[in-house]
């Protein structure tokens, strides 16, 4: 498509946005773009980027910048997504039994307009004959997942953009099992949205809205208590000094009460970040994967002598950790290290209590550390490896129901879940269980880094890294597609001096030799992911992000380590290998 045809298509798609039912600000903005796009390059690019496509469901549902346009999050795209959801649910389930309307649960995080968008979602559902159960204030995403199951609802929606910058918002849809929708349902939902007549306003009504009151918070915390594993913590509670930050999001209202219920009496909150605020004013990014987001928490931890620092993202499905390093300082753990520590803790406790005396499994994604496989094998537990995105772990849980019990799962992107009461990554639960692990280790005179070193001694030392290359807008999307095409058509034969012995193409669902010979079929669904395995066991993976304008590159390396010599030295060596793989891949980013 030529630049001129792209502009003309954007004009055609934008013109209806100059009329009601769109609000006056939206109409004026779009009208200005249309009137000036020929003479002003900024207006032309703004018009094209806002209207060149419809938002589509990625690994985390709909997510995008807020503003006018079909490629933006706004009242119209939220209402249309909800109308499409309503149409889809009716098509699949039919009309609800007389006097017993179908239920849908709705929640939101602390972002700008999140409560407005949640209200719109509830009103559209209500107008379509559904009983919308709405949390009137911000609540964690995992609580919404649990609420869907607890209500016996057909579906759930949470308005959130997770850890993205303040200009973003999003819309996650959950199925009746509490897991995010996956293929083919996500495509069916999108098809219903695209089939809507843009000239017909989406109906809205407040009549069928039910409010989820504070009793649901108590029920959620009571459910979490079922996962306490430490008898010492249950009997005695804990005075372990812990620092927590909710980074201006839902964790600020959900995690401290949950920690208190678990028995932790000495929790220090970062006061400046305990107030929900969609501007996230104290951080450049509310992402606990990034060190600067936890800087204030680490500073407080040094003041109070804390044994653990935890921070959650705005919708409380991810948690980042910092732990003492023995030199009066703190070190950040990455998502793979935390996943390994949590998995070992849970499997150990479940084994002690006899809960592993039936078929059980651990879940991980294709870019999460293989240390989880080693740990699971040590406990005689199976492993399910899924595509990237926790919705695929939830899908695996659903598929195994009645056959094998799910124990624990994790993603390298700082998301974890124990048990199947919730069907999405749960930072509220994870904070409680990671604090419990820190408590048990403290009782034995150990720390998190001691336990991590022990895991590496037993299973081999692992180190993973992530590098993201940001490519904004329509042109950036094309550049990402070109990069993936190159990796697929001309894959590397060598990476950092290591010979590539296997090429996994998750789009064609094939594992091939470098010479092109078919080695085996891949069990996961088709996805635009390429992975390269070397003769030294390294794994290098590339994929476009499903929620952000970037291509993500992952590297995982391993070394045998018998415990002799410094653990930090072997980790430094592994880090240098990770960095060498990124250089060999030819990517630059952060």
Residue pLDDT, tens place only, 540-574: 999 998 777 889 999 999 999 999 999 999 999 99
* Phi/psi-derived region of residue 79, left when phi > 0, alpha when psi is between -120 and 50, beta in every other case: alpha
Residue 74 is predicted with a pLDDT of 96
Residue 590 is predicted with a pLDDT of 41
Distances (CA, A) of 79 to 117, 120, 263, 372: 8, 6, 42, 41
331 Cβ contact partners less than 8 Å away, ≥ 6 residues apart: 322, 323, 324, 325, 449
Residue 2 is predicted with a pLDDT of 64
**The token pair that represents 439 in the structure block:** 């408590």
554 Cβ contact partners less than 8 Å away, ≥ 6 residues apart: 367, 412, 464, 465, 466, 539, 540, 541, 542
From the list 424, 426, 423, 445, the residue with the least C-alpha distance to 434 is 426
Sequence-ordered alpha helix ranges (H) in 269-405: 295-304, 335-352, 371-378, 390-400
Fold of 461-585: TATA-Binding Protein (3.30.310)
Domain residue limits, the chain: 1-52, 58-211, 214-459, 461-585
Spatial distance between the Cα atoms of 42 and 44, rounded to a whole number of angstroms: 5
Spatial distance between the Cα atoms of 492 and 541, rounded to a whole number of angstroms: 12
If one counts every other C-beta atom within 10 angstroms of the C-beta of residue 137, the result is: 15
58-211 and 214-459 agree in CATH topology: yes
562 Cβ contact partners less than 8 Å away, ≥ 6 residues apart: 457
76, exposed or middle or buried, with CB in 10 Å at 0-12, 13-18, 19+?
Answer: buried
Find how far residue 317's CA is from the centre of its chain: 7
Query: One of 110, 114, 126, 162 is an active-site residue; which one?
Result: 162
* Phi/psi-derived region of residue 470, left when phi > 0, alpha when psi is between -120 and 50, beta in every other case: beta
Q: pTM score, two decimals?
A: 0.94
CATH class, domain 214-459, is alpha beta
From the list 104, 313, 109, the residue with the least C-alpha distance to 212 is 104
Residue 92 in contact with residue 51, Cβ under 8 Å?
no
* Residues written for the chain: 590
Residue 589 is predicted with a pLDDT of 45
Whether residue 379 has a cis bond before it, omega within 30° of 0: no
From the list 580, 484, 487, 488, the residue with the least C-alpha distance to 536 is 580
Residue 59 is predicted with a pLDDT of 61
Please provide residue 506's backbone torsions phi and psi, each rounded to the nearest 5 degrees.
-75, -10
Residue 101 in contact with residue 95, Cβ under 8 Å?
no
34 Cβ contact partners less than 8 Å away, ≥ 6 residues apart: 11, 14, 15, 18, 47
Q: Which residues of the chain have pLDDT under 50?
A: 589-590
Q: Residue 7 in 3-state DSSP?
A: helix
State how beta strands 308-312 and 530-534 pair. Answer: unpaired
Please tell me what DSSP assigns to residue 410.
E
If one counts every other C-beta atom within 10 angstroms of the C-beta of residue 282, the result is: 17
Annotated catalytic residue 162: yes
CATH class, domain 58-211, is alpha beta
Residue 530 in contact with residue 491, Cβ under 8 Å?
yes
Residue 474 is predicted with a pLDDT of 78
316 Cβ contact partners less than 8 Å away, ≥ 6 residues apart: 140, 141, 142, 246, 249, 250, 251, 254, 255, 426, 427, 428
Please provide residue 549's backbone torsions phi and psi, each rounded to the nearest 5 degrees.
-80, 70
* Phi/psi-derived region of residue 460, left when phi > 0, alpha when psi is between -120 and 50, beta in every other case: left
Please provide residue 267's backbone torsions phi and psi, each rounded to the nearest 5 degrees.
-100, 125
Whether residue 184 has a cis bond before it, omega within 30° of 0: yes
215 Cβ contact partners less than 8 Å away, ≥ 6 residues apart: none
**The token pair that represents 197 in the structure block:** 């007549």
**The token pair that represents 305 in the structure block:** 């002598």
Spatial distance between the Cα atoms of 179 and 107, rounded to a whole number of angstroms: 15
Distances (CA, A) of 497 to 310, 512, 585: 38, 20, 12
């Amino acid at each position: 498509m030529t630049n001129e045809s792209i502009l003309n298509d954007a004009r055609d798609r934008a013109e209806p946005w100059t009329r009601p039912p769109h609000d006056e600000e939206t109409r004026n903005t779009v009208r200005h773009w249309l009137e000036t796009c020929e003479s002003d390059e900024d207006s032309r690019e703004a018009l094209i980027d806002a209207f060149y496509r419809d938002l589509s469901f990625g690994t985390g549902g709909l997510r995008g910048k807020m503003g006018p346009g079909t490629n933006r999050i706004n009242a119209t795209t939220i209402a249309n997504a909800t109308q499409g959801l309503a149409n889809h649910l009716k098509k699949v389930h039919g009309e609800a039994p007389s006097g017993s309307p179908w239920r849908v649960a709705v929640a939101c995080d602390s972002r700008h307009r999140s409560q407005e968008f949640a209200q719109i979602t509830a009103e559209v559902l209500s107008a379509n004959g559904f009983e919308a159960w709405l949390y009137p204030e911000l609540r964690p995403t995992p609580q919404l997942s649990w609420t869907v199951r607890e209500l016996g609802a057909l579906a759930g929606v949470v308005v959130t953009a997770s850890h993205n910058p303040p200009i973003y918002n999003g819309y996650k849809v959950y199925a009746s099992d509490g897991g995010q929708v996956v293929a083919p349902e996500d495509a069916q939902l999108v098809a219903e949205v695209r089939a809507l007549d843009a000239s017909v306003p989406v109906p809205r009504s407040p009549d069928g809205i039910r409010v989820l009151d504070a009793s649901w918070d108590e029920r959620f915390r009571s459910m979490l208590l079922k996962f306490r594993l430490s008898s010492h913590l249950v009997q005695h509670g804990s005075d372990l000094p812990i620092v927590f930050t909710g980074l201006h999001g839902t964790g600020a209202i959900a995690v401290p009460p949950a920690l208190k219920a678990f028995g932790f009496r000495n929790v220090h909150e970062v006061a400046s970040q305990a107030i929900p605020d969609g501007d996230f004013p104290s951080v450049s990014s509310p992402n606990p994967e990034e060190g600067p987001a936890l800087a204030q928490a680490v500073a407080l931890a040094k003041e109070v002598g804390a044994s653990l620092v935890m921070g959650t993202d705005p919708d409380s499905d991810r948690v980042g950790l910092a732990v003492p390093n023995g030199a009066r300082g703190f070190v950040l753990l990455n998502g793979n290290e935390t996943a390994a520590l949590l998995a070992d803790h849970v499997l150990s406790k479940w084994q002690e209590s006899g809960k592993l005396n039936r078929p059980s499994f651990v879940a991980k994604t294709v870019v999460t550390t293989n240390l989880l496989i080693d740990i699971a094998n040590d406990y005689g537990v199976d492993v399910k490896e899924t595509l990237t995105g926790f919705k695929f772990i939830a899908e695996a849980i659903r598929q195994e129901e009645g056959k094998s019990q799910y124990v624990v799962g994790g993603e390298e992107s700082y998301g974890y879940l124990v048990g199947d009461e919730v069907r999405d990554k749960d930072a509220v639960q994870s904070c409680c269980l990671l604090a419990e692990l820190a408590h048990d280790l403290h009782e034995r005179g150990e720390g998190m880094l001691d336990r991590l070193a022990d895991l590496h001694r037993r299973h081999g030392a692992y180190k993973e890294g992530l590098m993201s290359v940001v490519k904004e807008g329509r042109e950036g999307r094309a550049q990402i597609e070109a990069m993936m095409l190159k990796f697929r058509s001309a894959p590397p034969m060598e990476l950092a001096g290591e010979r590539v012995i296997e090429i996994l193409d998750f789009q064609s669902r094939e594992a091939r030799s470098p010479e092109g010979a078919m080695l085996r079929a891949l069990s996961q669904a088709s996805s635009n992911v390429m992975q390269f395995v070397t003769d030294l066991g390294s794994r290098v993976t590339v994929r476009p992000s499903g929620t952000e304008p970037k291509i993500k590159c992952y590297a995982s390396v391993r070394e045998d380590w018998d415990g002799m010599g410094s653990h930090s030295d072997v980790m430094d060596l592994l880090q240098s290998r990770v960095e060498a793989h990124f250089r060999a891949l030819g990517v630059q980013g952060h």
